[in-house]
Amino acid sequence: MEEPLCSLLLVLILFVSGDAVNPGCDCLQYSETYGKEYGTFNSPDYPRPYPANINCLLYTFIADIEEIVEITFKDFDVYKTHLDCIGGDFLKIFLHLEKPEVDEYTNWSGLLCGGYSDVPAVLYSSGPVLILEFHTTDASSNATGFIGTFRFIDRRTFRTDGQKLPGTICDYQFISSNHTLNHGRFYSPRYPSNYPQNIKCAYRFRARATERIRIVFEEVTLQKGDVSCLNRADVIKVHDGRSAVSPTIRVVCNEASALEVLSTGPDLFIEFLADSEWPGQGFKAAFQFQPLLLETTPQTEAETSADVVVEKPGPPAVQKQTADLIPSVSATSCCSCRSAEYKEDGNVPVIPANCDVVVTSDGVKNGSVASPGYPGPYPARTSCRYDFQGRGKERVQVFFTDFSLYHPTDDSKECESIDSLMAYVLIDGRMEKIDNFCGSTLPRPLMSNGPRLMLEFRGIYSSRQSRGFRAVYSFTENFGVQSGQQAPDLPCAFVFNSTEANEGIFHSPNFPGFYPRDTECHYFFNGQTGQRVKLNFNYFDVEGVLPCEAISASDYVEFSNFMARDRKYSRHCGQLQEFSVESDRKFFRVTFRSNDRLDGTGFNASYQFLDQEDIPTSVRPTERTGHSSTLTIGPISHPTLILIILLVISVFK
C-alpha cells in the first residue's frame, strides 16, 4: 500500500509511522513542491476503492511561517453512512494549527464524507500547517476516495489595510488622510480560512467631509442556504454612521458576491457577528474614499426635457482608482443629454450628439428624464444612457409617464433589433439586463436591486409619430412601500401596530411593478393582548416553484408567529389565487425574499386585527375530501354551547 500512497509527483514526501505525530497514526508529510506551483495528494489505491480498516492516516502539509496552505479537491468519494459523518468513513480536517501536531484533544474544524458536491472544493489553513486525518471502517465499499492538489500562499495577501484597534481581536479603523491610502481591502478574521466561532468584529470608516465611502463585498461565504438574514447567527450589518445605533443600510448573510454599498455621509460602521456552530469562510471586501463631486449641472427643460443632475468628470487619478476597485458601472463619459441636432443627408440623419448622463442623489432626490427631442420625434441612430446612482439604503424607482417608440409590427413582445429602452442593474459585479421595452405599451414601474440602475435607449429608426419616452425617477428609502412605519434597524422593515390602525394594506416592494432582485423585506404586525391578525392576499405573483427553496432558485414569502422561522407555515411562491393567513397570537411576521435571478410583480394584501372572540374557527378538510374550500363556523354563544354538551351527554347515556 505504501507505493500508491507515495505516488505524488514533484513533491517531497516524508512517510512516518507510529508516534511521530499521533500514536497509532501513519503520516504523509508535504513540505515542498520543488519550485512548482502545486503538488498532488490522494487516498490509498486511488482511483481504485480505498482499503477498509484504515485506523488513522494523516496528511500533513507544512508551509513557511508567512504562508498558508490551500487544498483543492479534484475528486471526492468517501462512503457516507451517517449524516454527520461520525461512525463511518470520514476525513477529519484541522485548519487552525501553528505546529504540525495533533492528538485526540486537538480541536478539529470539520468532518468530510459523501460525494464531491457534499464537501467544499477548496480548503485554507489559517496558519502554516494543515492536516487531514483519514479513517475507514471494516465495511468494504466501492468508494474511490479522493485526489487533490495543494499549494502554499503568502498569507500577507489577505492582510487588512486598516489600523487594528489595541486590545481587540478584530476591530479596525480606516481614516482618510494625507498619510493613508484612499482605497484598500479588509477581511473577516482568518480569511480565506474559516472564521472563529462566537466573535464580534467592527470596521469603522471615517472619510473627510468632502468624501464618501464605497464598499464592495467581493465574496461572502457565511452559512449556506436561503434562510432569512433575520434568522441567521452569522451576519454582516452595515450602518450609515459612526456606530451600531446608526441606521442600517444593508444586512448580508448566507452567500453573496459583488455587493456594493455607498455611504450618505463621511462615516460608515460595519459589524460582523458570528455565533453559528459551523463557521463559513467569511468575506473579502474592498473600500474606497471617494471625492464628493460637488460640481453638478442641472440641465434646463430646453436642453434635455429632463430634470437631472450631471456629474462632472473627476480627476484622471480618481477615475483610475475607481476602475481598479471594481469595473465601472458605465464606461461612458458624464456629459449633457441635449436634444440632438442633425441634418438630413438624403433620407438618412446623421448620428446625434452624445446624450449619456449620470443622475446622482447627491443633488435632488427626484426628477424626470426623456428621450432626445421629446415630445417631438427622436432622431434615428440615437444611443443614450441614463445612469442613476443613489446612496445608503436608497433604491432607484422609475415611473413612466409616456412611452411611444417606433415599432414596425406594433408587437411590443419582440424588442430585439428595433427601437427599445433597456433596464440594467448591478449583479455579480456587472451590469445585467433585467427588462427590455418597446412599442407603445407603458412599462411597469422599475426599481433597482441596490443604489444603481441604468437605462439604455436605442433609437435605430425614427418616425414622426414616435414621441420617445418620458419617465419620473426618485431615490427612495422606503422601497416603494407606503404603509406602516419603517424600522431603522433593518434596511427594509415595516411595522403595523393595532394601536394606530386596526386594518390597512401592505404590498411587496415596487408593487405593481416588478419587485427588485436580491431584496429582503419584513412586515411586523403587533396587536394588543387578546388580538390576532388576519391577512388576505388578493394578488400573489412571486417567482418560484414549490417548495420555494434555493435548489429551485425560488423567491418566497414566509409567515411566522415568531421572529424565528415557524414550521407551521410553508413558504409561498408562484402565481396563487386569493388566500388568507391568520396568526396564532398578537404578533405576526411576514418576510419577502428575492434572489438575483428572475422576478415577478409580487403581492398585494390587506390586514385586519381581530379580537379573540371575533375570529371564526376555520376547519380545513382533509386531503381525502378533494376540496380546496374551507368550512367556517361562527362564534358560539354560551347557552348554545351548554345545550350541545347536554345533548352529547344524553347520547352516551
| Residues linked to residue 93 through DSSP beta bridges, in sequence order | 110, 132
Q: Is 634 within a domain? A: no
User: Does 334 lie in the same domain as 195?
Assistant: no
User: Does 600 lie in the same domain as 550?
Assistant: yes
Residues 89, 136 contacting (CB under 8 angstroms): yes
User: Does 220 lie in the same domain as 303?
Assistant: no
Please tell me the distance from the alpha carbon of residue 376 to that of residue 370, in angstroms, as a whole number.
Answer: 11
Q: Is 167 within a domain? A: yes
Q: Is 635 within a domain? A: no
User: Does 449 lie in the same domain as 302?
Assistant: yes
User: Does 268 lie in the same domain as 391?
Assistant: no
Residues 8, 150 contacting (CB under 8 angstroms): no
The last residue of one of the domains, among 92, 126, 155, is: 155
The last residue of one of the domains, among 442, 476, 510, is: 476
Please tell me the distance from the alpha carbon of residue 359 to that of residue 453, in angstroms, as a whole number.
Answer: 10
CA distances from 423 to 148, 271, 370, 433 (A): 43, 33, 14, 6
pLDDT for the residue numbered 521: 97
User: pLDDT tens digits for 310-347?
Assistant: 333 333 333 333 333 333 333 333 333 333 333 334 43
Give the phi and the psi of residue 189 in degrees, each rounded to 5: -55, 135
Please tell me the distance from the alpha carbon of residue 268 to that of residue 173, in angstroms, as a whole number.
Answer: 10
Against a cut of 0.85, is the pTM above it? no
Please tell me the distance from the alpha carbon of residue 383 to that of residue 370, in angstroms, as a whole number.
Answer: 13
Q: Is 91 within a domain? A: yes
pLDDT, mean of each 10-residue run, the chain (653 residues): 35 38 78 86 96 95 95 96 87 94 91 94 96 93 95 95 95 94 96 95 97 96 90 96 96 94 97 93 97 52 37 34 34 35 37 71 91 92 94 96 86 78 92 93 95 94 89 96 94 97 97 95 96 97 92 93 92 96 96 92 97 57 32 42 50 45
The last residue of one of the domains, among 271, 291, 311, is: 291
Could you tell me whether strands 199-206 and 267-274 are parallel, antiparallel, or unpaired per DSSP bridges?
antiparallel
Please tell me the distance from the alpha carbon of residue 226 to that of residue 510, in angstroms, as a whole number.
Answer: 22
pLDDT for the residue numbered 22: 56
Residues 160, 187 contacting (CB under 8 angstroms): yes
Could you tell me whether strands 344-345 and 348-349 are parallel, antiparallel, or unpaired per DSSP bridges?
antiparallel
Please tell me the distance from the alpha carbon of residue 255 to that of residue 251, in angstroms, as a whole number.
Answer: 12
User: Does 316 lie in the same domain as 285?
Assistant: no
User: Does 130 lie in the same domain as 248?
Assistant: no
Residues 591, 251 contacting (CB under 8 angstroms): no
Name the CA radius of gyration of the chain, rounded.
30
Residue 28, all three cell numbers: 504523509
CA angle 92, 94, 100 (to 5 degrees): 120
**157 secondary structure, DSSP code:** G
CA atoms within 13 A on the CB side of 519: 30
The helix (run of H) or strand (run of E) holding residue 538 is strand 531-542
Other C-beta atoms within 10 Å of 103: how many?
A: 9
User: Does 107 lie in the same domain as 17?
Assistant: yes
Q: Which residues contact 637 (CB under 8 A, 6 or more apart)?
A: none
pLDDT for the residue numbered 341: 36
User: Does 575 lie in the same domain as 449?
Assistant: no
CATH code, 138:
2.60.120.290
Q: Is 653 within a domain? A: no
Q: Which residues contact 546 (CB under 8 A, 6 or more apart)?
A: 573, 574
3 state SS of 275: coil
User: pLDDT tens digits for 167-192?
Assistant: 999 999 999 999 888 999 999 999 99
The dihedral through the CA atoms of 323, 326, 332, 338 has a sign that is: negative
Cis peptide before 512 (omega within 30 of 0): yes
Please tell me the distance from the alpha carbon of residue 538 to that of residue 580, in angstroms, as a whole number.
Answer: 9
3 state SS of 318: helix
pLDDT for the residue numbered 35: 78
Please tell me the distance from the alpha carbon of residue 562 to that of residue 586, in angstroms, as a whole number.
Answer: 10
Residue 455, all three cell numbers: 437605462
Please tell me the distance from the alpha carbon of residue 181 to that of residue 435, in angstroms, as a whole number.
Answer: 39
Other C-beta atoms within 10 Å of 466: how many?
A: 19
The helix (run of H) or strand (run of E) holding residue 176 is none
Residues 207, 267 contacting (CB under 8 angstroms): yes
Q: Is 650 within a domain? A: no
Q: Is 644 within a domain? A: no
User: Does 305 lie in the same domain as 276?
Assistant: no
At 238, the amino acid letter reads V
Residue 559, all three cell numbers: 409567515
pLDDT for the residue numbered 550: 83
Q: Which residues contact 643 (CB under 8 A, 6 or more apart)?
A: none
Residue 564, all three cell numbers: 424565528
Please tell me the distance from the alpha carbon of residue 514 to that of residue 598, in angstroms, as a whole number.
Answer: 10
**177 secondary structure, DSSP code:** S
Please tell me the distance from the alpha carbon of residue 440 to that of residue 298, in angstroms, as a whole number.
Answer: 29
pLDDT for the residue numbered 498: 97
Q: Is 626 within a domain? A: no
**547 secondary structure, DSSP code:** T
pLDDT for the residue numbered 292: 84
Task: Provide the domain count of the chain.
Answer: 4
User: Does 164 lie in the same domain as 118?
Assistant: no
pLDDT for the residue numbered 411: 56
Please tell me the distance from the alpha carbon of residue 438 to that of residue 420, in angstroms, as a whole number.
Answer: 5
> Strand order in 122-124's β-sheet?
39-42, 145-154, 67-77, 122-124
User: Does 199 lie in the same domain as 78?
Assistant: no
> Strand order in 211-221's β-sheet?
183-187, 282-291, 211-221, 255-262
Q: Which letter, b or e, does each residue of 438-463 get, where b requires 16 or more Cβ atoms within 10 Å of its Cβ?
A: bbeeebbbbbbbbbbbbbbbbbeebb
pLDDT for the residue numbered 413: 62
Domain boundaries, position 127:
2-155
pLDDT for the residue numbered 300: 36
pLDDT for the residue numbered 33: 81
At 161, the amino acid letter reads D
Please tell me the distance from the alpha carbon of residue 439 to that of residue 27, in angstroms, as a whole number.
Answer: 71
